[in-house]
Amino acid sequence: MQIANHAPIPELYVSYESAQKLKKEAADLKSWDMTPRQICDLELLMSGGFHPLKGFLTQEDYTGVVENMRMADGTLWPIPITLDVAEAFAEGVELGQDIALRDQEGVILATMTVTDRWTPDKAREAEKVFGADDSAHPAVNYLHNHAGKVYLGGPITGIQPPIHYDFKARRDTPNELRAYFRKLGWRRIVAFQTRNPLHRAHQELTFRAAKDAAANLLIHPVVGLTKPGDVDHFTRVRCYEAVLDNYPTATTTMSLLNLAMRMAGPREAVWHGLIRRNHGCTHMIVGRDHAGPGKNSKGEDFYGPYEAQELFAKHQDEIGIEMVDFKQMVFVQERAQYEPRDEVEEGATILDISGTELRRRLREGLEIPEWFSFPEVVKELRRRYPPRSQQGFTVFFTGFSGSGKSTIANALMVKLMEMGGRPVTLLDGDIVRKNLSSELGFSKEHRDLNIRRIGYVASEITKNGGIAICAPIAPYATTRRAVREDVEAFGAFVEVHVATSLEECERRDRKGLYKLAREGKIKEFTGISDPYDVPANPELSLDTENTEVDHCAHQVLLKLEQMGLVAG
């Protein structure tokens, strides 16, 4: 049964007194520490955002949802809301048993009576729900590589909502939004779902959509989990707040939705509609490629551009919300204004900046014109994505003992400090072994641990805008690759192979270690009695045998300049 948009929606919380009591009792229950995605799902289950669901899906409901988007009783529901757990945990749960659901700090948020436990056919779920069993789809990747093997289902008793420390005043439950609409006398409300920063074209299209539908506007951005690689929600919310000032105050409001998106295109659009209906909206804007996951492993789109609109339209009455077409707005140069693309006069000059082009301009510190976005939004994005020459990065030297890594790394550090701008940290092999890894030896396991620690520190430095210079032997290619991945999540990783030959290192033998290694007095010595994987594709390879240290460091600087990491 659908609930009128101004009436309250059922929540799964018990009263305050019962919650206090239940919380104490629940401390003795077997408990499951939920993943970030499960916490998002639980919040919307408890608040009524996922109404009419009463808990994590049972097996029968799951099968119906996967196979034909319907619960066992026929209710439309397109996305499986499942509690995936580890096999070992599932084995210890009996049917009919209550379990406690905790957040990542151990706070009990709810209890669940486990009525169902089963091992799902994940390939089938991927095919039916996401359209293909292809791990290029973020939700399929999650399903196969992150989600537990077993699903538990059953009704939830809500104790308290997950705790949020950020943007508290901007988060509303469905009933809070319904009450707000009721108070303001808003009876027709268009929702705009988004996971991206809003620019002028979005402002124009949402404003126009609301005007066309003779409705008020709810900007309803997702701040739970979105597509990997998206602009983080902290930055986005600051951007949204700036854009909000550009709407007439009496017409528009914004609220943050702690949803874990699946990027399931058409099914996701239907799901978004149901969620918005529960939040008291009457209309929703659905655009081209709504909630699209990007390209599949063959480089093709997962869904057709209008599939989401078609599926939504088909179920519109049942969803209980009217679809508003997303009009693509473009800037017409001659008229210095935004117009729907299909209404632009022939021969007019259309200006547009794609997402890729915007990222390039941010990266290179290039101009982003006023017609494209609001100055406050651009300022926030520039703060978050400074040009490469202001971002953190890591230079990772690798090579034999005595190859000259430390000497060149030191020279590079001094040169970078002379240039100024960013803090520089040297993580030299010997220094790290003294301060971070003093308990470690030179077995493969210990060397890996040592390098992973260096990688972790370097990635933190990179994340926070500094320069990390690392200079360990780092003999294993796989470990170097893992460090590269850690660092590249936040900035550039520049691998420099100090390619001094073993013969030359041994000839120099500055610390007298090669002699001891040859005599067998030092075991597992790199190059003598332990392996060294020569880097296959380093950003730079240095020949120290015929080149001065100063020149080697200068070559690294030139490489950094070429990569745009330091200003030329």
438 known ligand binder = no
Question: With binding defined as CB under 6 A, does residue 451 bind ligand PPS?
Answer: yes
User: Which residue bears the tokens 């794609």?
Assistant: 354
- 21-60 mask for ligand PPS (x: CB under 6 A)? ----------------------------------------
Q: Which stretch binds ligand PPS (CB under 6 A): 74-82, 416-424, 446-454, 557-565?
A: 446-454
Q: Find the catalytic residue in 178, 195, 262, 267.
A: 195
**Which listed range, 48-56, 271-279, 283-291, 442-450, lies at the site for ligand PPS (CB under 6 A)?**
442-450
Site for ligand PPS in 102-141 (CB under 6 A): none
**Is residue 194 among the annotated active site residues?**
yes
18 known ligand binder = no
Q: CB neighbours (10 Å) of residue 184?
A: 12
Under the binding rule (CB under 6 A), the answer on residue 266 touching ligand PPS is no
Assess 144 for contact with ligand PPS (CB under 6 A): no
d(CA 123, CA 143): 9
What does the alpha-carbon distance between residue 101 and residue 31 come to, in Å, rounded to a whole number? Answer: 6
Token pair 């007298």: residue: 512
Q: Are 321 and 282 in contact (CB under 8 A)?
A: yes
- By the 8 A CB rule, do 171 and 163 touch? no
The verdict on whether residue 402 carries a ligand-binding annotation is: yes
Query: Is 406 a known ligand-binding residue?
Result: yes
542 binds ligand PPS (CB under 6 A): no
Q: Does 522 bind ligand PPS (CB under 6 A)?
A: yes
| Residue of closest CB approach to ligand PPS | 429
Nearest of 380, 212, 195 to residue 293 by alpha carbon? 195
CA 318/CA 282 separation, integer angstroms: 12
**Residue 535 contacts ligand PPS per CB under 6 A:** no
Please check if 48 is assigned to a binding site. Answer: no
The CA-atom distances, in angstroms, between 498 and each of 178, 311, 473, 503 are: 64, 58, 10, 14
Backbone phi and psi for residue 150, each to the nearest 5 degrees, phi listed first? -115, 145
Closest to ligand PPS by CB, 99 vs 513, is 513
Is position 472 an interface residue for ligand PPS (rule: CB under 6 A)? yes
Residues facing 182 on adjacent strands: none
Mark 386-406 as b/e (b = at least 16 C-beta within 10 Å). Answer: eebbebbbbbbbbbbbbbbbb
Regarding 330 and contact with ligand PPS (CB under 6 A), the answer is no
474 binds ligand PPS (CB under 6 A): yes
Cβ–Cβ < 8 Å for 453, 432: yes
Longest alpha-carbon distance in the chain: 89
| CA–CA gap between residue 531 and residue 513 (Å, rounded) | 16
CA angle 499–440–518, rounded 5-degree value: 50
Q: In angstroms, rounded to a whole number, what is the distance separating the alpha carbons of residues 133 and 142?
A: 12
Q: Give the C-alpha separation, 299 to 183, whole Å.
A: 49
DSSP secondary structure letter of residue 347: T
433 lines the binding site for ligand PPS (CB under 6 A) = yes
Q: Which residues contact 202 (CB under 8 A, 6 or more apart)?
A: 192, 194, 243
Q: Establish if 524 lies at the interface with ligand PPS (CB under 6 A).
A: yes
5 touches ligand PPS by CB under 6 A? no
Residue 519 C-beta: closest distance to ligand PPS, Å: 13
Binding residue per annotation — 185? no
Strand partners, 225: 260
Has 335 been annotated as catalytic?
Answer: no
User: Shortest distance, CB of residue 518 to ligand PPS, whole angstroms?
Assistant: 12
Among 131, 221, 392, 429, binds ligand PPS (CB under 6 A): 429
Identify which range of 30-38, 111-119, 255-263, 427-435 contacts ligand PPS by CB under 6 A: 427-435
Q: Which of 63, 157, 194, 258 is catalytic?
A: 194
Name which of 343 and 533 has its Cβ closer to ligand PPS: 533
Q: Is 15 annotated as a binding residue?
A: no
Count of other CB atoms within 10 angstroms of residue 124:
13
**Beta-bridge mates of residue 158:** 13, 110
Residue of the chain from 254, 257, 269, 473 that contacts ligand PPS (CB under 6 A):
473
Q: Does 447 bind ligand PPS (CB under 6 A)?
A: yes
Binding of residue 469 to ligand PPS (CB under 6 A): no
The one among 402, 404, 455, 491 contacting ligand PPS by CB under 6 A: 402
374 in a known ligand binding site: no
Name residue 490's amino acid: F
User: Interface residues with ligand PPS (CB under 6 A)?
Assistant: 401-402, 406, 429-430, 433, 442, 447, 450-451, 472-475, 511, 513, 522, 524-526, 530
Catalytic residues: 194-196
Q: Which residues are annotated as a binding site for ATP?
A: 399-406
